Amino acid sequence: MKDRVCLLLSVLLIAGGFACTPTRVWVSDPAFTTAETGRYAVQFMPLTDDKNFIQQFRLLVTNRSDKELEVDWTATRYLFNSQPHGRFLFEGIDESNINNPPSDLVAAGETLMKVIAPVQLLAIKPARSSQFKDQPAFSSGPVPEGSNGIALALRQDGELIRVQLSVSVTIEVK
């Protein structure tokens, strides 16, 4: 009987230890950021999906003008602590166009929504591991703590328009 009580107490202590394991949670301040003019409105928002970490961003570009607006992905950069750190990945980018991503055209009065992730943080699935067999070959890794942003390049009528947006990311232990 004494052995059973000791075993039960040991199991409860171990289970309680796992229940108290701290969780790291990525937090963005502000939750999103915007830039607006008479020609465009841009929103940049970190995404966590079902995980605790930020690994992607949602970009909304609204064309407020009466002329087509181009999002130039070749000239757009991921910013970390206000410094350029490579390009972004998004649906439609693969090994054939990663160095020359196609532009997106936003018609007058329309909005483009794109989920983007920094190329610098690309995670590649291990080829020989059966543990990750249901995972995609590439996925976004978590963004680092600090200022994370975008240096967005827009073009309209041959004019290059630069828009810089960023959020501060901290990692909290809960």
We report the CATH number of the domain holding residue 84 as 2.60.40
The answer to whether position 152 is within a domain reads yes
If one counts the domains in the chain, the total is: 1
CA distance 124 to 55: 14
CB of 77 closer than 8 Å to CB of 84:
yes
Is the pLDDT score of 113 beyond 70?
yes
- Is 141 a member of any domain? yes
Q: What is the pLDDT of residues 22-31, one digit of tens each?
A: 788 899 999 9
- Around Cβ 59, how many Cβ atoms within 10 Å? 22
pLDDT of 72-99, one tens digit each?
Answer: 999 999 999 999 999 999 998 888 888 8
Separation of alpha carbons 143 and 56, rounded Å? 8
The answer to whether residue 1 is domain-embedded is no
Residue 76 falls inside a structural domain: yes
Of residues 92 and 131, which shows the higher confidence score?
A: 92
- Answer whether residue 14 is part of any domain: no
135 lies in which domain range?
Answer: 22-173
Check: CB of residue 76 under 8 Å from CB of residue 61. Answer: no
**How many Cα atoms within 13 Å fall on the side-chain side of residue 142?**
17
Give domain status of residue 13, yes or no: no
Task: Tell me the pTM.
Answer: 0.80
